[in-house]
Amino acid sequence: MFELEQTWASTGDTGALTAVQVPFPGMESVLYVEHSTLATTNSFEFQTAQNSSGPWFTEGSTAMGATAVVAQRALRVTGPYRWMRPQFKTASTGVYNIRLLVVR
């Protein structure tokens, strides 16, 4: 079994975070997004592509509401895919920790 673990940190700006190449065809994956205090609701997407220049496809999305406590969301995606990135669709000030786990 092959496993990839990638982490990102973000302050919640709109846009895509750095894409990662999966060194093997990603078959099962989960993207965890955890945040501390949010000012407003924020939404994010799990995007995949077959190469780094895209096109990028949204495989799943979810939203997190404004809260004063730590919250976590998980998006699960079935592959195969070679590139992956998280993308924030709306901006909300806060501290986000994003973790990707991929297995083949």
Please say if the pLDDT value at position 11 is more than 80.
no
What's the mean per-residue pLDDT of the chain?
Answer: 80
Give φ, ψ of 12 to 5 degrees.
95, 15
CB 101 within 8 A of CB 5: yes
CATH of domain 9-97: 2.60.120.260
Domain ranges of the chain: 9-97
Model confidence over 94-104: pLDDT tens digits? Answer: 777 788 888 77
